[in-house]
Amino acid sequence: MAEKIQENLISLCKRRGFIFQTSEIYGGLQSFYDYGPLGVELKRNIKKLWWKEMVQNHKEIVGLDSSILMHPKTWQASGHLEGFTDPLVECKRCHKRFKADELTKDRCPECGGALTNSKDFNLMFKTFMGSTEDSASEVYLRPETAQGIFVNFKNVLQTSRLKIPFGVAQIGKAFRNEITSGNFIFRIKEFEQMELEYFVNPKNASKIHEKWQKKRLNWYIDLGINKENIRLKKHSKDQLAHYAKACSDVEYNFPFGWSEIEGIANRQDFDLTQHSKFSHQDLVYLDPETGEKFAPHIIEPSAGVERPLLAFLIDAYEEMAGETGKKKEVVLRLDKRLSPIKVAIFPLIKKEPLQKIAKEIFNDLKSAWMCQYDETGSIGKRYRRQDEIGTPYCITVDFDSLDDDSVTIRDRDTREQERIKIKELKLILRQRLDF
Ligand code: ATP
């Protein structure tokens, strides 16, 4: 059942223009995806809402946008060159590659062939800068956005006059050459991260870590994820990354099992201390009130964009019996803030003067919200089309509109229809859609 839903959702994503396999005309590139007209809106909404929650709503948090390619020493200092590895084994017969710690037997799960010994495989993508391809010009595509924040610690501190505790947030692409990828967009090689690095006095680190865990869990619930399907899961000591004192994941109950969509780590002073050592710069904080000098500890809520996006889609996806009792109908019950299209506007039939009025309404609303104008197919079909992509409101101009200057507004979830004066539309939509 769960697999079936996932399959249907994936096909909806493709059919309706949320997500496409990249370079599809050339047969695709495994684990890389492109976002279509609706997917890009959904992604933008997630990032906008995260930014509002994490930056705009805090006087002590600021944003940053750092480079994808960084000085190679960054990755030496951060430990990624040495330790950002997975154990890799290869089948000697079919040459498929696997993560050794995911295998249950010592033979190839695909063809039963013998496997090579396990070796450490670094997940960072390497490329070359300049005109020569030698080791002196090697650079890496960042595997996380966080390091861009740490190396800018001093710049931000000096230019923003922030006092501890304070945070620096960033949204951007990250790349990981995952050995095994899959489950649609769950594990991909190019993805976006939304990360906050929150610098604190070591004395308060544990308490602040607790606070962020709760805040981050509640963010997903507030955006409509069913409480039953989301949880915090604490890492055991042996699951912790080398730099972390403690870490909890926000996990979602995907059709393929509970899996991480965000990690909230207490990174201690590992990063700033390492970058101080490798850059010979003093990355410490001087408390202006107490005169105390210390390397701040870091609390890091780190989420991807694609995994939460998949969780939002799965949680919102509902199949129900059609009104006529025949074909099943799909409703994407996305929170209105996430919906790619907020309002759809239809003339009841493809004729003037209904078209003219509907187009005028579209033109009036489009600067405030993402709207769609649709005049093809029966009105029922047009409602279904919008339900399927999660549009909260549909507006229909009918023949009565010519006499009463009113339209029908239909609610996606209740399916109720109300009659509203055209001149009051914007105000009413503002009450329902502006958050
Ligand atoms: P996993 O154990 O599943 O590989 P991770 O613990 O390595 O994940 P983090 O390094 O904590 O992941 O990254 C923070 C967030 O970035 C994750 O919660 C996830 O949302 C996102 N992320 C990490 N790797 C990938 C990936 N390969 N594909 C999609 N999103 C990813």
Distance 244 CA to ligand 1 centre (A): 15
How far does residue 260's CA lie from ligand 1's centre (Å)?
7
DSSP SS3 for 77: helix
Work out which ligand 1 atom sits closest to the CA atom of 304: 20
Measure 263 CA to ligand 1 centroid, in angstroms. Answer: 8
Mean residue pLDDT across the chain: 94
Ligand 1 pocket mutation pick from 307, 309, 310, 312 by most atoms within 8 angstroms of CB = 307
**Which among 304, 300, 284, 271 is positioned nearest to 74, based on CA atoms?**
271
Give the pLDDT score at 322: 75
pLDDT per residue as tens digits for the range 15-56: 999 999 999 999 999 999 999 999 999 999 999 999 999 999
Maximal C-alpha separation, the chain: 80
CB atoms within 10 A of CB 9: 22
Question: What predicted TM-score, i.e. pTM, was given to this entire model?
Answer: 0.95
**Å from CA of 293 to ligand 1 middle:** 34
Using the predicted structure, report yes or no on whether residue 411 has a pLDDT greater than 70: yes
**Atom in ligand 1 nearest the alpha carbon of residue 265:** 11
Q: What is the pLDDT of residues 105-144, one digit of tens each?
A: 889 998 999 999 999 999 999 999 987 777 778 999 999 9
Pocket mutation for ligand 1, best pick of 78, 180, 260 (most atoms within 8 Å of C-beta): 260
Contacts (Cβ under 8 Å, ≥6 apart) of 281: 154, 275
Convert the pLDDT of each residue in 141-156 to its tens digit: 999 999 999 999 999 9
Arithmetic mean of pLDDT, 61-81: 96
Query: What is the pLDDT, as a whole number, of residue 328?
Result: 86
User: In the chain, what percentage of residues exceed pLDDT 70?
Assistant: 98
Flag the least confident range among 101-115, 221-235, 252-266, 322-336.
322-336
Distance 305 CA to ligand 1 centre (A): 10
Average pLDDT over residues 234-246: 84
Find the mean pLDDT for residues 400-426: 96
Q: Which residues line ligand 1 (CB under 6 A)?
A: 176, 178, 187-188, 191, 193, 260-263, 302-304, 306-307
CA distance 183 to 31: 9
Other beta carbons less than 10 A from residue 233's beta carbon: 15
Look at residue 324 in the predicted model and tell me its pLDDT: 63
Q: How remote is the CA of residue 96 from the centroid of ligand 1, in Å?
A: 23
pLDDT band of residue 247 (cuts 50, 70, 90) is: very high
pLDDT at 244 (0 to 100): 80
Confidence category of residue 1, pLDDT binned at 50, 70, 90 = low
Task: Report how far residue 40's alpha carbon sits from residue 24's, in angstroms, rounded to the nearest whole number.
Answer: 18
CA of 264 to the centre of ligand 1 (A): 11
User: What is the whole-number distance in angstroms between the Cα of residue 304 and the centre of ligand 1?
Assistant: 7
Nearest CA to ligand 1 atom 18: 262
> Whose alpha carbon is nearest atom 25 of ligand 1?
187
For the cut 80, the answer to whether the pLDDT of residue 166 exceeds it is yes
